Amino acid sequence: MLPQFLLTETTVREAGTGPDLNLGDQQGGTLILTLGITRIIEQESIDISIWGSADGADWGTKALISFPQKFYCGTYQILLDLSETPQVKHLRAKWQMNRWGKGDPKPLFSIYLFVQAMQHMAAAG
């Protein structure tokens, strides 16, 4: 099932939540999450967190992991170890944005999120 996009490249202007992804046979495994930021405007930030669910309905009250706050275009990776939460069958991303300074007060980011299994990455390298 993996590798796969958790969020295809999307332009966002306000807080939101992406679609859920069924982990299939990667449940309980270690995943590499790649965040790509391909477009921004100055004086803004984005916070992206990854949430897990056992049933695709209850997403709990705490994210599994979060990327450090981002301000610039680039590609960023984090590891998500699901061995402590083997009940998680679904993942999804949530984001919050902030903009300050002059001009349009609405932030603008073009982002994508890609997920792959750790062993898939090791085999490719």
Q: What is the pTM of this model?
A: 0.91
Express each pLDDT in 51-75 by its tens digit: 999 999 999 999 999 999 999 999 9
Residue 65 burial by CB count (10 A; 0-12/13-18/19+): exposed, middle or buried? middle
**Domain-wise residue ranges, the chain:** 4-124
Which residues of the chain are modeled with pLDDT < 50?
121-122
* Mean pLDDT (the chain, rounded): 93
Q: Which fold has domain 4-124?
A: Jelly Rolls (2.60.120)
Quote the pLDDT of residue 124.
53
